[in-house]
Structure 1
Amino acid sequence: MKVQNPHDKFFRETMGNVPTAKEFLHHYLPKNILQVIDLDTIEVQKDSFINQEFKDYFSDLVFRVVISGKEGYISFLFEHKSYPDKAIAIQLLKYMAEIWETKMKKEEVSELPIVIPLVVYHGKSKWRFPLHLGGFLNGFEEMPQNVKEYLPNFHYLLYDLSEYSDEEIKGNAQLRIMLKLLRDVATKSTEEFLQSFYEAIYALLEIEDKQKGIEFFEITLRYVFNAVRDLTKKDMEQIVRQIETTFPEGSEVAMTLADLQEKKEIESRRVFFKVRPGIQWLPRSFA
């Protein structure tokens, strides 16, 4: 079966790696925030703070880090829908409240930690919603400042991948590959996306640890096979040939995954034929 949400899985497997998350923060945090954060203290947290109702739309990653000399948190919220959700600010508020409540209940802290929220979005349409909670409150902007003090408001950092050019995507090989593929899977045709994937293969050669390179290659290839719904047998054969030329270390993995993918496709067609009698079924190679 296809992975239920390949974008979510790809994001978590890549950004859950501390060195890669550190690269993202180093290259994309605003300088004024970066100046108060000690990136050398970053640690990934295993707890998830997303409510069940939002799990189909968002994935979350939380990192503990020293902010201005005290324990704080940087929270990534990855929106993996094809269009932006106006409920994002409300979800972020719930998200931060969950972190604070967990700290209070589990650790009985007397002071709540700072939480800096980041949203990574890779949908087809541009992000069009305010970047602060107050922007969603009717009449908030017209309120006098001494009244706004009684109303909840915070800003969040947004990274709309569709707005980034190749030159603006920075970081180590793993980070650049993930950001480019998440950007292009939502905005380009299958043929164009595969070209982006072939270009990404070259970046794998930058990874000095060959075993880590092969492991991330498998993560990336699984993402491609699961995220692109209309790959043909010809496409997969071309992918294998390209890998054999560019990244031969991953050719065995590529052939294995391509074979598995084709078997899954054939099996899914058999299942469809069984539940829909009277429909002629032919293997792809004969169709």
Structure 2
Amino acid sequence: MQTNAHDALFKAAFSQVEHAAGELRQALPPELSSRINFADLRLCPGSFVDEALKERHSDLLFSASMGEARVLLYLLFEHQSTVEPLMAFRLLRYMVRIWEHHLAEHPGSKRLPAIVPVVLHHSERGWASGTSFEELLDLDEGARIAVGEHVPRFRFVLDDLSQEADEALKARRMSAFSRLVLWCLRHAREPEELLARLGKWLDLMNDVRRAPNGAEALRTIWRYILATNERDEADEVLQRLLAAAGESWKEEIVSAADQLVERGRQEGLREGLQQGRRHMLLRQLGARFGALPDAAVARVNAADIAELDRWSERVLTAPTLADVLSEP
């Protein structure tokens, strides 16, 4: 639940270009940021993260003009407690997927758009690894210099929330909602701090409340705080949140809590239906192919709706188990 809450908050804020522009301006080096026309920043469709890593990474892709060309800005949010030492390699894979997607949409193109990778990070101790691809190569310094022009070379932009004080976050030149979101993510692993420090952020919440769509933006914040405190009794967390925020916020907080409960019911129902479909597919596979290997059972149990649909269509006609579970 907490990982889903991090992802939902990240995308609720930064899939809106006015909020994403503030984060990107903050993170990018000034000499680069000054060349980008953020007035025409656009969100691009798609996610390029490995399926197995979606519990740890969330991503958004944007394009903006830079001179006469358009540049792609790839924002990756890493919501895990440890540092990923191979982050530059993972980013290279995602960047290649973005370029492949671009070429599929622009057949015959002879040039590629520039991609600037930006990592938004928060962990217990902060980033403690390299930010350039070259640093991953198993070479001494002299050898690295010698092969320099013959291997991939890039450095990703790092915005490490772990090292940012609350006062610095609050002073960023970004929308009030964006600053609140970063503050929430900064203390995501210490939910007690979200409640303890809430009083110092109520002025910013009032700014959000007065902005267009401010009430819904605040409900997003309240839902996140409630969700990240899920290890405690829900009623107790709600009462503590109401006490920390004050009476004037009661209606909005209670509304957010009700939405969270209803969403939990809906997700539980969807998961129950999905689990039922997995069970049915396993029975059909067993009836056709006999005892199933553990790897096949694990694949079905981890499958999403699209995969279950595809395999259910094949189960009656595919000649082998491998054919049923093959990729599209």
Q: Same fold (TM over 0.5)?
A: yes
Cα offset for 1:227? 1.8
* Structure in which a larger fraction of residues adopt helix: 2
Q: What aligned pairs does 1:64-213 form with structure 2 within 5 A after superposition?
A: 64-108=63-107, 109-139=109-139, 141-143=141-143, 145-169=145-169, 170=172, 171-186=174-189, 188=190, 190-207=191-208, 209=210, 212-213=213-214
Distance (Å, rounded) in 2 between the aligned partners of 1:7 and 1:158: 18
Deviates more, 1:195-204 or 1:11-20: 195-204
Report the equivalent of 2:31.
32
Distance (Å, rounded) in 1 between the aligned partners of 2:208 and 2:197: 18
Distance (Å, rounded) in 1 between the aligned partners of 2:41 and 2:182: 21
CA distance 1:255–1:226, change in 2 (3 Å): closer
CA distance 1:53–1:230, change in 2 (3 Å): closer
Give the SS at the match of 1:60: strand
> AA paired with 1:113?
P
Q: What aligned pairs does 1:42-81 form with structure 2 within 5 A after superposition?
A: 42-81=41-80
Cα offset for 1:248? 5.3
Unmatched runs of 5 consecutive residues or more in structure 1: 268-287
Report the equivalent of 1:273.
none
Unmatched runs of 5 consecutive residues or more in structure 2: 269-328
Distance (Å, rounded) in 1 between the aligned partners of 2:133 and 2:257: 48
Give the SS at the match of 1:253: helix
Cα RMSD, aligned residues only: 2.4
CA distance 1:198–1:255, change in 2 (3 Å): farther
- Whether the 8 Å contact between 2:161 and 2:186 is mirrored in structure 1 is yes
Cα offset for 1:24? 1.3
Distance (Å, rounded) in 1 between the aligned partners of 2:208 and 2:225: 20
Distance (Å, rounded) in 2 between the aligned partners of 1:219 and 1:29: 27
Report the equivalent of 1:218.
219
Cα offset for 1:9? 1.3
Aligned positions, number: 260
Give the SS at the match of 2:38: strand
CA distance 1:43–1:56, change in 2 (3 Å): same
CA distance 1:257–1:53, change in 2 (3 Å): closer
CA distance 1:126–1:255, change in 2 (3 Å): closer
Q: What aligned pairs does 1:208-287 form with structure 2 within 5 A after superposition?
A: 209=210, 212-232=213-233, 233-247=235-249, 250-254=252-256, 256-257=258-259, 260=261
> AA paired with 1:128?
A
- Whether the 8 Å contact between 2:25 and 2:33 is mirrored in structure 1 is yes
Report the equivalent of 1:9.
8
- Whether the 8 Å contact between 2:17 and 2:41 is mirrored in structure 1 is yes
The list of structure 1 runs, each at least 4 consecutive aligned residues, that deviate by more than 6 angstroms after superposition, is none
Q: Which whole-Å deviations, capped at 9, do the CAs of 1:89-130 have from their partners, x for residues lacking one?
A: 111001111111111112122210000000011111221111
Deviates more, 1:35-44 or 1:244-253: 244-253
> AA paired with 2:179?
R
Distance (Å, rounded) in 2 between the aligned partners of 1:11 and 1:35: 25
Cα offset for 1:31? 0.6
TM-score by length of 2: 0.72
Distance (Å, rounded) in 2 between the aligned partners of 1:3 and 1:153: 35
Structure number with bigger Rg: 2
Distance (Å, rounded) in 2 between the aligned partners of 1:15 and 1:158: 16
Report the equivalent of 1:279.
none
TM-score by length of 1: 0.82
Report the equivalent of 2:309.
none
Report the equivalent of 1:284.
none
> AA paired with 2:238?
M
